Amino acid sequence: MIPFSPPRIDDKIIAEVVDTLKSGWITTGPKTKLFEKKLTGYCGCKATVAVSSATAGLELVLRWFGIKEGDEVIVPAYTYCATANVVIHCGAKPIMVDVNQDDFCISIEAIEKAITPRTKAIIPVDIAGLPCDYDRINQLVCLNKIKALFKANTPEQEMLGRILVLSDAAHSVGAWYKNKRTGVLTDVSVFSFHAVKNLTTAEGGAIALNLPEPFDNQALYQYFCTYMLHGQSKDALAKMQKGAWRYDVIDAGYKANMTDILASIGLVELERYDSDTLIKRKHIFDVYQKAFASCKWAELPHFEDENRTSSYHVYLLRIKNINETQRDEIIQRIFDNDVSVNVHFQPLPLLSAYKNRGYKMSDYPIAFDNYQREISLPVYYDLTDEMLQQIIQAVKKSVEEVLS
């Protein structure tokens, strides 16, 4: 059976983890701080805070911005549940909008229609690793008529004076938009380093801070470091210094720090990300693209254009003119040929938690159509060319059997 997305665990990763274990410092410490610095350098953002997951990072940012009951946050209907759940955790309402047919990204026309005086933030998602059209989103929130609607309830909202653009960049570390990497495309971006993501730390995430003047991103970095450790004025490493045992708790914070064990995996992954990982992932995408280009039934994914380059996170193949039942049948046959595939994603209105909150799938026809015809193919470092051919054959055979 060809698996869908196993992590790349090799001797380099193991050696770095063992080095951390033997160092005597396993929680947040020097390796986490180094990982943050390297990420900041890589993205070109103003500061990066390593956290325990992208979900925790997104929620910390929403809470910092004062999102609460009565507020609305615009999210795409086509995403992983984390994007909406963090809004619900804060007591606010996720306002789901439809996505584009071609690239699966949030529809900017739909965002514009969904903005109300309660809108406090937008969370665009770089689906499969392709950045959204951020110039248009950033211009939209800066329009005078949109700013005039914005009602600031906290000093942070007052300082920004407009809707916050918080990018869910869980898929898109290393992707490009107009010669800039993700992390600097919006006010704040959050990466995921979950086990199946492009760059993994087993579990983890990072908040890339890029807020405009007069925000002090360095001060905010300090704020988030404190806020994700119970509001404790010193972290465990600082308390270890001679005689420095006393600390204060400034506010009732959260617990969402990254550990040095996990950061050590991230350090190895980041070091070889551009020169090795992304090259391999692009190769896999190119092989799929070439193999399916001649199939009349294939709608090929969009992963590079004049403004954007994907991080090649998920290969989103669509089959033309099929329904959900046929798609499921194709997937079953692919599995019967010993190849694991997946669907990214079930739009949120299909899932009980959101159905029960009144969201209706029929309000998001493009998200549903993209979903009902979509099959995600394996993409990972250890996939060989022979395995790729086996996957391609299994997909072609299964689609052609179901369509015949």
Ligand X SMILES: *Cc1c(COP(=O)(O)O)cnc(C)c1O
In this complex, which beta carbon is closest to ligand X, that of residue 157 or of residue 264? Answer: 264
How far is it, in rounded angstroms, from Cα 152 to Cα 63?
A: 14
Among 53, 107, 167, 172, binds ligand X (CB under 6 A): 53
How far is it, in rounded angstroms, from Cα 368 to Cα 370?
A: 5
C-alpha distances out from residue 286 to 23, 182, 312, 341, Å? 42, 22, 10, 18
Cis peptide before 335 (omega within 30 of 0): no
By CB under 6 A, how many residues form the interface with ligand X? 14
Q: How far is the CB of 57 from ligand X (least distance, A)?
A: 8
Distance of CA 215 to the CA centre of its chain: 24
Decide if residue 374 touches ligand X (CB under 6 A): no
∠ CA 120-124-128, rounded to 5°: 160
For CA atoms 331, 335, 336, 338, the dihedral sign is positive
For CA atoms 296, 101, 59, 43, the dihedral sign is positive
Segment contacting ligand X by CB under 6 A, of 75-83, 155-163, 251-259, 318-326: 75-83
In this complex, which beta carbon is closest to ligand X, that of residue 270 or of residue 322? Answer: 270
Decide if residue 49 touches ligand X (CB under 6 A): no
Q: Which residues contact 83 (CB under 8 A, 6 or more apart)?
A: 58, 75, 76, 94, 123, 125, 168
C-alpha distances out from residue 107 to 126, 238, 304, Å? 12, 46, 18
Q: Helix 365-372 crosses helix 324-336 at what angle (to 10 degrees)?
A: 30
Segment contacting ligand X by CB under 6 A, of 16-24, 167-175, 243-251, 334-342: 167-175
Decide if residue 84 touches ligand X (CB under 6 A): no
Decide if residue 172 touches ligand X (CB under 6 A): no
The residue written with tokens 């995996």 in the block is 265
Among 55, 157, 167, 198, binds ligand X (CB under 6 A): 55
In this complex, which beta carbon is closest to ligand X, that of residue 188 or of residue 394? Answer: 188
Decide if residue 100 touches ligand X (CB under 6 A): no
Closest by CA to 301, choosing from 284, 289, 283, is: 289
Among 5, 20, 32, 79, binds ligand X (CB under 6 A): 79
Among 181, 194, 327, 333, binds ligand X (CB under 6 A): 194
Decide if residue 83 touches ligand X (CB under 6 A): yes
In this complex, which beta carbon is closest to ligand X, that of residue 194 or of residue 373? Answer: 194
**Which residues ranging from 123 to 152 are in contact with ligand X (CB under 6 A)?**
125
Binding mask 235-274 for ligand X (x = CB under 6 A): ----------------------------------------
Among 80, 227, 254, 292, binds ligand X (CB under 6 A): 80
Task: Provide the token pair at 99.
Answer: 């996505």
Cis peptide before 214 (omega within 30 of 0): yes
How far is it, in rounded angstroms, from Cα 196 to Cα 367?
A: 23
Give the type of residue at 316. L
Among 49, 82, 163, 263, binds ligand X (CB under 6 A): 82
Decide if residue 189 touches ligand X (CB under 6 A): no
Among 168, 187, 269, 374, binds ligand X (CB under 6 A): 168
DSSP H or E stretch at residue 59:
helix 54-64
Binding mask 203-242 for ligand X (x = CB under 6 A): --x-------------------------------------
Among 47, 54, 67, 334, binds ligand X (CB under 6 A): 54
In this complex, which beta carbon is closest to ligand X, that of residue 72 or of residue 168? Answer: 168
Binding residues (CB under 6 A) for ligand X: these are 53-55, 79-80, 82-83, 125, 168, 170-171, 192, 194, 205
